[in-house]
């Protein structure tokens, strides 16, 4: 499948990335079932690797999920991360900042929620909202946004140099697919509670968001934490791609079963 990883410094056009892509899997029932079977295996592997991450407690993994409304951030967490031991996995949902949070720099509340060693941390939305909504609605000047890009890079370098691997995913859906998903929420009485008028409002700024995402991803892809564009029109392919990236990231840590405490002589140990 095509590699949608953004190299540091590279410009990027989302219009050149197909949100409908399903790699080598056919866009039919067979392709979907095949993809789901592979994802299942990856998730089992993920569970196993997470146990080792937790046992070692020397490294951490941070997964950042961004994307338009209805792009599937919640669904990704549900389908890829259910099965992981919740003791080693913390999901953080960033809401509108509180008055106290606004009294600090924009990374203050984010830093507090960075995953501890041994943990997988998942940011459902993140500090990137502070350079997206703010830009689209003209709440901050270009100069401040640019400054924030640099602050974000320095912040992520700090985490990375301290042992955290960072995976940043942009869930890429088409405007038509968003329409389908919003209509499903409207037409299915069981899903209406999820519907928010704000989603319709933000949809009007689709083009501006695309531009803001492109600029942001080009500016904040660093060697240790590049952005990945995930084709997300097909939920099953989105889950596969993300599970695959997570498994590879954990495998690359090359963690083993931790060694026994060196000062204990296990051969002479007696339990009364």
Nearer to a second copy, 99 or 264 (CB): 264
Q: Is residue 258 within the footprint of a second copy (CB under 8 A)?
A: yes
Residue 78 DSSP code? I
Closer by beta carbon to a second copy, 217 or else 255: 255
Q: Which residue has the tokens 């140099």?
A: 161
**Would you say 67 and 171 are in contact if contact means Cβ atoms under 8 Å apart?**
yes
Q: Specify whether the CB–CB gap between 118 and 168 falls below 8 A.
A: no
> Near a second copy by CB under 8 A, which window of 138-146, 189-197, 213-221, 222-230?
189-197
Least CB distance from residue 171 to a second copy, whole Å? 15
Place of tokens 């509670």: 193
Strand locations in 120-245 (E): 120-124, 164-172, 227-231
CB distance 62 to 127 below 8 Å: no
Indicate the DSSP class of residue 140. S
Site string for a second copy, 26-65 (x = CB under 8 A): ---------------------x-------x----------
For residue 262, the minimal CB distance to a second copy (Å) is: 11
CA angle 135, 62, 105 (to 5 degrees): 40
Residue 162 touching a second copy (CB under 8 A): no
Site residues (CB under 8 A) for a second copy? Answer: 47, 55, 74, 77-78, 81-87, 89-91, 93, 122, 124, 179, 182-183, 186, 189-190, 192-193, 195-197, 200, 203-204, 257-261, 264, 266, 269, 271-272
């Amino acid at each position: 499948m095509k590699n949608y990883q953004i190299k540091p410094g590279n410009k990027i056009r989302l219009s050149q990335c197909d949100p409908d892509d399903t790699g080598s899997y056919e866009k039919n029932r067979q392709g979907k079932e095949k993809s789901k079977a592979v994802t299942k295996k990856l998730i089992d592997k993920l569970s196993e690797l997470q146990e080792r991450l937790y046992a070692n407690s020397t490294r951490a993994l941070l997964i950042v999920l961004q994307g338009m409304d209805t792009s599937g951030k919640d669904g990704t967490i549900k389908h890829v991360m259910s099965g992981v031991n919740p003791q080693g996995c913390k999901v953080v949902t960033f809401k509108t900042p509180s008055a106290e949070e606004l009294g600090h720099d924009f990374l203050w509340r984010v830093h507090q929620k960075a995953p501890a060693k041994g943990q997988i941390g998942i940011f459902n939305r993140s500090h990137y909202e502070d350079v997206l909504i703010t830009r689209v609605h003209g709440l901050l000047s270009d100069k401040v946004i640019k400054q924030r890009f640099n602050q974000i890079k320095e912040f992520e370098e700090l985490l990375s140099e301290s042992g955290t691997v960072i995976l940043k995913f942009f869930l890429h859906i088409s405007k038509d697919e968003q329409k389908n998903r919003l209509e499903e929420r409207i037409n299915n009485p069981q899903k209406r509670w999820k519907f928010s008028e704000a989603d319709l409002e933000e949809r009007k700024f689709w083009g501006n968001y695309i531009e803001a995402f492109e600029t942001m991803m080009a500016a904040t892809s660093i060697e240790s934490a590049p952005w990945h564009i995930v084709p997300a029109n097909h939920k099953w392919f989105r889950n596969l791609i993300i599970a695959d990236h997570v498994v590879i990231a954990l495998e690359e840590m090359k963690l083993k079963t931790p060694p026994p405490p060196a000062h204990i002589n296990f051969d002479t140990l007696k339990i009364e």
